[in-house]
Structure formats: structure tokens, C-alpha cells
Structure 1
Amino acid sequence: MRLPGKIAIVTGAGSGFGAGIARRFAAEGAQVMVADINAEAARSVATQIGGLAQPVDVADGDSVAAMIATAEESLGPVDILVNNAGVTHLPGPMETISEDDFDRVFAVNCKSVYLGARALVPLLKERGRGAILNIASTAGVSPRPNLNWYNASKGWMITATRAMAVELAPHGIRVNALNPVAGETPLLKSFMGEDTPEMRAKFLATIPLGRFSTPEDLANAALYLCSDEASMITGVCMEVDGGRCI
């Protein structure tokens, strides 16, 4: 048990990396709010792990504020926030991506981090403790062609993580990020454009360990960074990428 008594919120936890993180946190003793825009998916994961399901639109300030308030009222003082919810646009030349797609990517991937901080950081400052984990991407470190605005949004998350870490460290609040390589999640097809053996082989050829990341890979890293074992670690953006960014 590495998170006994901790209260954690994981966004985008109805599937993929978020579900893996929520399951691992619960197994390690945390009470977990499973937050997702897909309420049915959130309920399914929450039922499996004995957590609390919460529908949320992470790009909407009122929805995020309600998520934080519900967690505080129903579970107790929040210790951990994992900003995992994310979207991408389909691959294409940068000038062909629609303005609506651009706005959606930055609202879900970037504005959500701001909204979560706006709602939760004042509470964490009062307590003098807390951990925030942003799920960024290797796309923000080593961009892939034709995913330009997604790449840029994840680069923003990496910079935001470091800036948040510096500002919040004096208040006892740690902020870190994970940079996963493409994984076996619902977003994989969107990254590739089409899910074919040929396209998978092309992607895998860029990963030295020769496989996609899994929710379990991300959950293991998230568990460490959000646990008290990492009490001296803040501002770290850790690649979980099988060597892709080397």
C-alpha cells in the first residue's frame, strides 16, 4: 500500500491510461474519483475499483470546479490530481487542421490544467501539501509530423508542469508530468490516422523496446510520482516511451 488514505482525482479515467492509473491507485490504498466526460465509462471503472464516478468536461470551468467540490465533500481533502484527459486531431498538414479541432485540442489538453489548478491549488496551499501529475506526451519532446497542434499542446503541458512546480514548491505542492509514447488506448487510431498492421509497424519501428506503452506502464510511473516516495521530486517530465526520445 503506497497511497494509504490518499484522495485522488483522475480525469479521463473512463478508459486507457486514466483507467489504468485509477485502478492502480485504488489497489494501493487511495480513494479515487473516476472523472470522465463519458459518465457511463466513469461509472464502469468506479464500480470495478470501489471509487466515485464523476462526469466532467475538463475544458469547462464550472464543470471542473464541481468535480473538485464533489471530491472534497464526498471523499475528503484531495491529495492528488492527475490531469490525464486528452484529445488529438487527425494527422494532417498543419495548415489543413480546422480551427474547431485546434480549439478543442488546446481546450482539453491545456486549458484543463489551468482550470484544475484554479479550483484545487488554493485548497492545497491551505494544507501545505499535494501532488499534481500532468499526462503530457513524447509528442511534446520529439514531435511527429502531421500532428503539429497536438505536439504543441503537449509541449505546453511540459512547460506548464515546470512552471507550476517552481511556483508551488514553497507551498509543499509537487507537480510532475509523464510523457508516454503512443499506447494501446482509444486515441491510438487517431494518432495513426488508420489502424492497420502496416501503420502499427511504422510506429513501432520508432520505439527501441519494440512495443506500445500500456495503461499499466503509465500507472506504475504515476504511482511513484504521486506517492510520498517521490517527496523530493518536482518539475520532472518523465518519458515512459521505450526509448523513443533517446
Structure 2
Amino acid sequence: MAGLNLAGKNILVTGAGRGLGRTIAIALAEHGSKVFALSRSPFTLDSLVKEQPSIEPIVADVSDWEETRRKLEDLRTMDGLVNNAGIIDTDPATTVTKEKLYKILDTNLLGAINCSQVVASKMIQDEKPGSIVNVSSIASLIGAGFGLLPYAMAKGGLDTATRQFALELGPYNIRVNYVNPGFFRTTNMSAPVIEEFPGLIKQMELRTPLKRLAEVNDVTGPVLYFLSDLSSMVTATCNVIGGGLINCTVY
């Protein structure tokens, strides 16, 4: 049976400065991958490289289409890509502005599409198989919370983009999958939601068979699986990491 076999693979991780992206980048480096860590924050990348000196930092904001494209086109051909960069903001669906909608979409959806285009095009040009993993959210599958329309829209679009990329890249032996975690307890992005809607979070914990929110380490394993040889015949697949929340009714 094939193992992860991640040693020596070149893998780009976006949003790698903190939270889930940082955890994934470190895990990949520990498995022997050559990790290219992209973040808009030089400070978080500096601390990441101090922790894992083998990681190569890339300072870029994925919401800036042209800047990101220029920096990625200068990289070697990747074996894998993790589209993890994302932001969150809350506003009622009836009053959220077009500007806020575009802000979330530019990072959470268009940023992932842009990175996938560049990375996949280089794979195709070099006739190199590969794997792309998109970090989506349980918010794309259920009504996850008041004020999350922009975020849910972007993640729903990312789910659809994943399946479309999987369809079009499959003939080149490039697999594209997505993970849909529930809300995290310990990330900067989830903190504002947890603070603003403590009742919602408590309700989610009570309704979850495993009785807790996800932690970043709960997601790292599935991401590494999708990047690895263990998933060589897996593409266009959604892995929900929500402790059974959307598939079980708990009273």
C-alpha cells in the first residue's frame, strides 16, 4: 500500500503565516516536502521560517491578482498546492455592501482560482502530475451563521470551482479536491465570529456528535492525504470536517 510519499515534493501553501495554513506548512516540511509559504504578512512568515528553516517564504496578497501571478510564475513547477488563504467578515445579508462582497470574493474565491491557474498551467507545461487542495468551509453546505453571506458565497463558489478544475485537469493527472471544516476554536479568522455569536457556537457544539469545534490539527491530516499518493484515484471530492454536524441530528 502506498504511503504519503510527500518527501521531496514541491508544495505551495497560501495563507501560511498563521492558523491552519501555518500548521499545514509545518506538517508538510516535517514530511520532507519543499514548502513554499505564501502570506501577505512578512512578520508571520519570518516567524514561520525561524521555526522551519527549510520553508521558502513568499510575501503576496492573493487578493492582488497581478502581483500574486507574477510571484508564482517565477517559482519552479509545483507538485501540490493548498489554497488556504481566506478572510471573514460579518454583515446582515440585507445590508452587506458590494464592496465587502468583492473584498471577500477577491481573497477567498478569485485568489484560489488565480493560484490554481498558474500552478496547474506549469504542471501541464512540464507534463507533471499534481494535486490541488482547496480549503473551503462547512458554511458552503449549510446556513452556518448570521452575517456570513459573503463568506458562504465565496466558499460555495470555491466548491464549484474545485469540481470544475477537477474535471478539466483530470486528463493531465492533476487532482483537485476540497476540505470543508467546521468553525475552528483557535484561529484568528474564527475568533471574531466566536466572540460575536457565542450562543451560536455553543449551539453548534451541542448539536455536533463529537461535542466540539474543529482544531487545526483535525484538518491537516485530510489535506496531507489529498496531496499524497494515497489519494491517487481521488478527485472532485469533498471532505467535510465537522464532527458529524451536518449529517446527524442531535437533540
**TM-score (structure 2 length as normaliser):** 0.90
Report the Cα distance in structure 2 between the residues aligned to 1:148 and 1:61, rounded to whole angstroms: 23
Residue of structure 1 equivalent to 2:79: 79
Residue of structure 2 equivalent to 1:18: 21
1:51-71 C-alpha deviation (Å, 9 max, x unpaired): 011111111122222332343
Report the Cα distance in structure 2 between the residues aligned to 1:199 and 1:244, rounded to whole angstroms: 13
Amino acid at match of 1:192: I
Report the Cα distance in structure 1 between the residues aligned to 2:51 and 2:23, rounded to whole angstroms: 12
Is the alpha carbon distance of 1:206 and 1:148 closer, same or farther for their aligned partners in structure 2, counting shifts above 3 Å? farther
Mean Cα deviation higher: 59-68 or 176-185: 59-68
Identity fraction in percent: 28
Is 1:119 the counterpart of 2:123? The answer is no
Residue of structure 1 equivalent to 2:139: 139
Residue 195 (structure 1) shift: 6.9
Amino acid at match of 1:123: K
Is 1:68 the counterpart of 2:72? The answer is yes
Residue of structure 2 equivalent to 1:185: 187
Count of residues in Structure 1 that have an aligned counterpart in Structure 2: 240
Three-state SS of the structure 2 residue aligned to 1:133 is: strand
Report the Cα distance in structure 1 between the residues aligned to 2:246 and 2:25, rounded to whole angstroms: 26
RMSD of aligned Cα (Å): 1.7
Residue of structure 1 equivalent to 2:205: 204
Amino acid at match of 1:129: P
Residue 220 (structure 1) shift: 0.8
Residue of structure 2 equivalent to 1:6: 9
Report the Cα distance in structure 2 between the residues aligned to 1:225 and 1:151, rounded to whole angstroms: 23
Is 1:52 the counterpart of 2:53? The answer is no
Three-state SS of the structure 2 residue aligned to 1:134 is: strand
Report the Cα distance in structure 2 between the residues aligned to 1:243 and 1:58, rounded to whole angstroms: 32
Residue of structure 2 equivalent to 1:41: 44
Is the alpha carbon distance of 1:179 and 1:190 closer, same or farther for their aligned partners in structure 2, counting shifts above 3 Å? same
Report the Cα distance in structure 2 between the residues aligned to 1:96 and 1:107, rounded to whole angstroms: 19
1:28-71 C-alpha deviation (Å, 9 max, x unpaired): 11011111111110221122122011111111122222332343
Residue 132 (structure 1) shift: 0.7
Is 1:242 the counterpart of 2:236? The answer is no
Structure 1: runs of 5 or more not aligned: none
Report the Cα distance in structure 2 between the residues aligned to 1:154 and 1:208, rounded to whole angstroms: 24
Residue of structure 1 equivalent to 2:102: 103
